[in-house]
């Protein structure tokens, strides 16, 4: 680590700490993700291994670039390109809301990045404003691939303390073990709405509250609109029956094109083309 000078701590989580740093050789700013090893009996945490292996194969302008992996004393350092802030901090700091053109640009860039991942059979699984990094030139990039998975591979349910509830797809809340592209598209739709309104679309405070917030807007799902939903482990026929509402009633600030985009997404998914997030 002698080649880097730490400037300040910019983040912290279960994985360790993230620092803003400078490369002594190039003078370039980087982000150093410091991974704790001493808490892992088997060495490097699985999230770090997954992130390293996936990012090596995901070279895209809207996906964070991993420059290097450096082994240190009881720590592993991932050296990333540095971006000024994340989308969550931007949304919290802009009083009047994001410019409509910027929202459209961010959405377009994110869709390209997600499509790039999905075409390579990779699900991000943890899309949220905190994991979307931005710079002053209007670029936005996907980051934090520690929970990413290959499409169609059965896996354990999310660790609830890690994944932000507000962006979790309904099939995950209902106990599915087989994740599809719909999971990321759902999260991105929630982020799109939040960029346009500066309010979280489904700010639940528990899993059942999260489900009910979704049901109130989209309607309580049944076999007619979501074939197979009754077979999910956490589904019950005793859920309250909500009819749902129009997108325009929930998001009045959206222009017609934005409302049409969300409506088309729902129609496509209800026809089964993306396998849920009804």
pLDDT digits (tens, 9 = 90+) for 111-168: 999 999 999 999 999 999 999 999 999 999 999 998 888 776 655 554 443 468 999 9
Separation of alpha carbons 115 and 81, rounded Å? 22
End-to-end alpha carbon distance in the chain: 48
Other Cβ atoms within 10 Å of 237 Cβ, number: 8
At a CB cut-off of 8 Å and minimum separation 6, what does 12 contact?
A: 18
Looking at the domain 85-272, which fold is it?
A: Transferase(Phosphotransferase); domain 1 (1.10.510)
At a CB cut-off of 8 Å and minimum separation 6, what does 257 contact?
A: none
Catalytic residue ranges: 126
The CATH class for the domain spanning 4-81 reads alpha beta
Average pLDDT in the 8-17 region? Answer: 81
Q: Do 77 and 35 touch, CB atoms closer than 8 A?
A: yes
pLDDT confidence band for 273 (50 / 70 / 90): very low
Average pLDDT in the 233-254 region? Answer: 84
Binding residues for ATP: 33
Binding residues: 33
Separation of alpha carbons 148 and 78, rounded Å? 17
Please choose, from the candidates 135, 185, 142, the residue with its C-alpha nearest in 3D space to the C-alpha of residue 55: 142
Q: Do 147 and 167 touch, CB atoms closer than 8 A?
A: no
Q: Do 158 and 210 touch, CB atoms closer than 8 A?
A: no
Please say if the pLDDT value at position 272 is more than 50: no
Please choose, from the candidates 43, 6, 31, the residue with its C-alpha nearest in 3D space to the C-alpha of residue 143: 31
Please say if the pLDDT value at position 246 is more than 80: no
Question: What is the pTM (predicted TM-score) of this model?
Answer: 0.89
Parse the chain into domains and list their residue ranges: 4-81, 85-272
pLDDT confidence band for 81 (50 / 70 / 90): very high
Separation of alpha carbons 17 and 33, rounded Å? 6
Q: Which long-range contacts (CB under 8 A, 24 or more apart) does 252-259 make?
A: 253/196, 253/197, 254/193, 254/196, 254/197, 255/100, 258/192, 258/196
**What is residue 13's predicted lDDT score, i.e. its pLDDT?**
66
């Amino acid at each position: 680590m002698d080649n880097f000078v730490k400037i300040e701590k910019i983040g912290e989580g279960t994985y360790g700490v993230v620092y803003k740093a400078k490369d002594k050789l190039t003078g370039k700013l980087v982000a150093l993700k410091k991974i704790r090893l001493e808490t892992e009996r088997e060495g490097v945490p699985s999230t770090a291994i997954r992130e390293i292996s996936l990012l090596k194969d995901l070279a895209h302008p809207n996906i964070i670039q991993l420059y290097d992996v450096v082994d240190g004393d009881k720590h592993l350092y991932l050296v990333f390109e540095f971006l000024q802030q994340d989308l969550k901090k931007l949304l919290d700091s802009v009083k009047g809301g994001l410019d409509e053109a910027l929202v459209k640009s961010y959405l377009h860039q994110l869709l390209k990045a997600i499509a790039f991942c999905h075409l390579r059979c990779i699900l991000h699984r943890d899309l949220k404003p905190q994991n979307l990094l931005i710079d002053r030139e209007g670029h936005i990039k996907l980051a934090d691939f520690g929970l990413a998975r290959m499409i169609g591979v059965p896996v354990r349910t999310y660790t609830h303390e890690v994944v932000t509830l507000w962006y979790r797809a309904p099939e995950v809340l209902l106990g599915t073990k087989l994740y599809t592209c719909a999971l990321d598209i759902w999260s991105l739709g929630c982020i799109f709405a939040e960029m346009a309104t500066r309010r979280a679309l489904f700010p639940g405070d528990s899993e059942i509250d999260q489900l009910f917030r979704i049901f109130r807007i989209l309607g309580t799902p049944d076999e007619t609109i979501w074939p197979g939903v009754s077979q999910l482990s956490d589904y019950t026929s005793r859920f309250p029956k909500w009819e749902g509402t129009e997108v325009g009633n929930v998001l009045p600030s959206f222009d017609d094109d934005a409302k049409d985009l969300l409506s088309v997404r729902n129609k496509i998914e209800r026809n089964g083309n993306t396998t849920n997030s009804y």
